[in-house]
Every structure is written in structure tokens, then in C-alpha cells.
Amino acid sequence: MKSSFSRAVDTVRVVAAETVQKANSGHPGAPMGCAPIATALYANVMNYCPKGHKWINRDRFVLSNGHASALLYTMLHNIGILSVEDLQGFRQLNSRTPGHPEFGHTPGVEVTTGPLGQGLSNAVGMAIAAKHAGAEFNRPGFDVINPTIYVLAGDGCLMEGVTNEASSIAGHMKLDNLVVLYDDNHITIDGSTDVAFTEDAAKRYEALGWHVIVVENGDDSEATDVLAAIEQAKTIDRPVLIKVRTTIGIYSAKAGTSKVHGSPIGAEDCARVRKELGIEGEAFETPADVKQFWADVVESKRAGHKAWGEMLERYAVEFPELHADLARRIKGEAPAELDAALKAVALGDAKATRQANNAILNVVNGVTPEVVGGSADLCASNLTTLKKNGEYMVAGDFSGRSIPFGVREHAMAALTNGISAFGLHWPFCATFMVFSGYMLGAMRVSAISGHRVVYVLTHDSIGVGEDGPTHQPVETLGQLRAIPNLSVWRPADERETAAAYAVAATRAGPLALALSRQGVPALCPDVELAMKGGYVLMEEANPQLILVASGTETSLAHDAAEAMIAKGIRVRVVSMPSVDAFNAQPTEYQEEVLPRRTGGVPIVSVEAASAMGMAGVSHAHIGVEEFGRSAPASQVYKVFGLTPEGVSERAAKFVGRTVGPILFE
């Protein structure tokens, strides 16, 4: 006679396979093999409340191998968050069960996964966020924030470089609230892991500072050894990797082979497995005793949530200010003082925009306790040192706001996604702009997910100078501007930088700042005007030419315009710190600033970067269409004709030309 737990595990195996079969698309192997792990977590281990699935102190489950989404959706169905109809809509248009889990789309999904390694790395960020929040809010007798982050990861996740970077950080920081269950099934799409992955992952993780537990019998439907390993993990003073040997697609005709990784097992085999495991009913049907098993589980989870709520009521009485701040941050509200502080920023002196960012970042940090972050070993160059509570978080003391990312750009970006997803912080991370290429996988997931992350990317052009073309990101602005829902800002001065942060404070998505190494004059007349993304900086009545520029080239365009005006050419100069923010403005305002839909006036963009970044903005572009040079910045600018004389001479050639609209609607 099978136990209720074992019956629940077998039902998960069957329903997950049927979910993939109904869609005729997906990955049944890992869900069938990992059913004991998932059932152990959701039934016996994790604290959560289905009715309050956003409960801030819930334990988090991250499915790092996101292709196994049918497993996660089946578990969410078991605890009452998803319906049978949701499972039957797997991978279909407008369903709540997309092919890979999507944060913000499906209730109960903690992070967007699919690109392997991102989930585990996000989980490291979540564990850091939990530790920092605990240091902020917990008081004797009141463990308000103390969740554990559980991860299910596969062979592919452990092969990815980003997980090694993230796991190195986790080991260094001794994150004892992080448990990774490694589905060691020895199979990838191309066949056995013998083909490409023969390292001893357990020894690697031990070298990274983790405790490793090996479970040889992960196929056991009672999950006896898995549960024992998790209980042991709770007593360890550092992150834990539980290496669980499983059989991919267990019980199917294709069990243990790559054929069950990414293809349905067939309707006939689904029916055979259901019968063999003794799971009564038709496809997608859960037996009555298994339904009762999960109903009892859910009831027990509600009790834990209720007890926490009662504690929080006492906490509100004992620590009203802390409780008020926690409540504000759970709601996602910015501090009341932040908007006014940013809009009051003075014009300031000439300085590099990385210096301007340092000033504004510390204005934000001064009134916004949820700010946390750091640089990829470049704080002194990025100028991202926090003045208030800027100490590094370290093992045993997570009260500081700075994170020791080290030279790990990809993990840094992935960790900040997890920190944002946790729900109590506004993270930032920093590096040289050219190294954002290492971060693109995580930045893209951030944009898909709508995470509130600020990317501080300094040394943004050929203005880097002597370091040469390897460090001069001529193509990067175009890359970043092409990512949907990533707001890209290249401010010209301190006020435009403040405008970027004011926008970032309330937008549902990440924001990237492209910042200069070299100094530029202060030009922006008003922070609120700059928040529109583009505005008229310099105006001549009935202009014959419009120059539009961003960042360091804004002052260059200004000087070039003055040279042309001295020759009798009427020129308007538009500062455009953010193309996407400008394009989101009402059409009337856009046309008032840049008549792109009516034409008539030549528009020339000026930017020390590829024309791709200004696509849809101008008729012509003065910029950089090749890699840069190693020389002092002023000399490199001169090579590319980016001087007031060079720009005015080239731009003047467009005066009098007949030009049509750039945009059609």
C-alpha cells in the first residue's frame, strides 16, 4: 500500500507528462524525474500560503531549469493556484502557463527562467536580499524576515558560467539560507553528460565554499533521502548543494535517454504510466485521496502564515517606524522625500557624468533605505561608493548596503534581478559600459520580468581614450536601446542624471545609465523637463537645422550650433538623454521638439556611437561607425570629426535639403 506522499509524487509524474502531451510540446523528462523533490519541498519543507502567494516571508522555490515548467505548474495546481484548465492551456496563446516560467505572469512563479543558470543566480540574489532585510527589520523575538531559498537546477545550469560566478559569491558570503537541489540525471539534449560534462561538480562546489550532500536514490517516491538531506541542510552554516541522482523520464518508455528531455512521451505511454503507477482516472485527473493530501498541506501552510501575521501585529506595536517602512516597501512605494530631492538638484559645475551619478546616487541612497548594490570591482572608477550605510555585506553581518560582486559581471546582473524579485529592495550594479556585453543575458531577463534594477555603465564612448577599442563601446548603445522595456539614459549632466533616477523610481522595469569618463558642462534647465527624455535645449526661430544629441555630445552639439548661428544658420539643439522615454511622450510634444512625422527640417543626430542607436530619431548621423583608437580622448574625438568645427561643417551640408518624415503612422 503506497503512502499518500508517494501517491502524490506519482500523480505529479503523470499529470506533468500529460500537460506536455496535451500541448504536444515541452519537456516531460525532468518533471517526471524530479517529482519527489518538488513534492518534498511543497508538502513537507517550504513555508508559503497559496492564498497569499506574495507573502513577503514565504520560502522561495526557483526552478532554474525552466524548461521543466510543467513540474512547477503541476505543483501550483496541487496547492490551488492554477486550475486544470491552466495546465491544459500549457504553451498556448494567452495562457497562464507559458513554455518557460515568467515572473509577474503566473502567480507563484518567483523568477523568469529558461536561459539556463539565470534562476540559480537569481536565487543567490534573493538569499542576499533576505539576509539584508533580516538585518534591517528583525529584532529579538521578531524574526519578521527569515525565508529560505530553494532551487532546482539541472546539469545545464551547472555548466553555465553564470552559476559558477554566482555560486562563488554565495560561498564567499556563506549564505546559509540557500539550498540548491541538483537534478543529476546525466542527460542533456545531445545525449549523455559524458559527451561534454565530466567534471566532479561536488568537489567544485566544495571548493566554492558550499556544503555538498549526495543523494543516490532520488527516484524514491517517498523522497526519504531527499527529505533527510534537506533537514541536514538546515543545520549547515553555508549554502548547500544537494546532488540528487535521478532518472530522467522515469517510468516512460524513453526513461534515461535524451529522447525524453524535450519531446512528449506520447498519449499511449502517458496512459500506460498512469495505469502502472495506479493513478486512477482520465488524463489530468487527480485521485480524491491525493486531492485531500494537498488540501491538508495547504491548511497547514495557512496556519504558518496566520501565526506570522499575528507576530507582525505585535511587531507594529513594538517597532512602529520599522513596520511602516516594511509596509511601504512591500507595496513598492518610493519614499515620499525622493521625488522632491531629485527635482531640487541644482545645475552644478562641469564634471564627468559618472561624477554626477555619484552625487545623485547618494541623494537617492540618503532617503531610500531599500537601495543596495555595488560594482564589478570598479567602485573607484564607476564612482558608486555609497556614503550612508555603505559598508559591504559580509558573512555574519548583512546590515551594509554594498555587495561584493567582484569581477563577475554576469552574476552581478543576475543577482540584482533576484534582489529585485525578492520584493523589498531597489538594487543597482555597475561596470564599464563595454562589459555590459557580459551582462546581456541577465539584463534581457530583467526587462522581460519588469525588475526594478539600475545599471550604472560608465566609460560610455571613445572618450575612454587611452584604453583603446577594447574598452570603447561604440556599438553598445544601439544594443541596449534595442531591448524592449529597458529604459536607456545617457545624461548630459547632473540634472539629467537626476531625471533618470526620478523615472527609475516609479517605472516597472530596469533602467541603464550610460555615463562618461570625461568632464562636460552643466546645461539642463530643469529636471522635470529632462524626465520627458528629450527637450529643446537651444532654440532659434524657424530653424533650418535641428541637432539632437545625448550625453557628452550634447555640449558638443551646443558648441557646433553656436558656430553655425554665427554664420547665419538658424539651429535648434535638442538634448535627448533617453530615446525610449521621449518616444513614450504624447505625439504632440514629440513633434513640437522633433518634427519627425511631418518632415521639412533636417534632423542630424550627434553621438559618439553607431547610428543604430539613433534609428528613428534623425535623417543623418554624425558618430562612430568603426572601433576606436588608443590615444587621449581629445585626439580620438578629433579622428572621428567629433569637434565643434567638424560637427558644424558636416551638419551645415544638410541645410536647405528637402527632407521627408522619419516616422510614419
Question: What is 437-459 written as a DSSP string?
Answer: GGGHHHHHHHHHHT---EEEEES
Q: Is 197 annotated as ligand-binding?
A: no
Look at residues 520, 512, 546, 518 and name the one whose alpha carbon lies nearest to residue 619: 546
Q: How far apart are CA 453 and CA 431, in angstroms?
A: 14
The secondary element (H helix, E strand) that includes residue 113 is none
Q: How far apart are CA 607 and CA 621, in angstroms?
A: 8
Q: Is 67 annotated as ligand-binding?
A: yes
Longest dimension (CA), the chain: 95
Crossing angle, helix 353-367 and helix 336-343, to 10 degrees? 150
Judge contact between 275 and 248, C-beta under 8 A. no
Judge contact between 415 and 117, C-beta under 8 A. no
Q: Is 396 annotated as ligand-binding?
A: no
DSSP annotation of 40 reads: I
Report phi then psi at 158, rounded to 5: -75, -20
Q: Which residue bears the cell 542533456?
A: 188
Q: Is 114 annotated as ligand-binding?
A: yes
Q: Is 517 annotated as ligand-binding?
A: yes
Q: Is 381 annotated as ligand-binding?
A: yes
Q: Is 24 annotated as ligand-binding?
A: no
Q: Is 459 annotated as ligand-binding?
A: yes
Look at residues 498, 493, 503, 495 and name the one whose alpha carbon lies nearest to residue 584: 503
Q: Is 451 annotated as ligand-binding?
A: no
Q: Is 187 annotated as ligand-binding?
A: yes
Beta strands in 338-416 (DSSP E): 351-352, 371-375
Q: Is 261 annotated as ligand-binding?
A: yes
Which residues belong to the active site? 409
Q: How far apart are CA 83 and CA 99, in angstroms?
A: 16
Q: Is 547 annotated as ligand-binding?
A: no
Full 3-state SS string of 533-581: CCEEEECCCCCCEEEEECCHHHHHHHHHHHHHHHCCCCEEEEECCCHHH
Q: How far apart are CA 195 and CA 212, in angstroms?
A: 24
Question: What is 66-100 written as a DSSP string?
Answer: GGGHHHHHHHHHHTTSS-HHHHHTTTSTT-S--SS
Q: Is 595 annotated as ligand-binding?
A: no
Known binding site for substrate: residues? 27, 261, 354, 381, 459, 467, 471, 517
Known binding site for thiamine diphosphate: residues? 67, 114-116, 156, 185, 261, 435
Known binding site: residues? 27, 67, 114-116, 155-156, 185, 187, 261, 354, 381, 435, 459, 467, 471, 517
Known binding site for Mg(2+): residues? 155, 185, 187
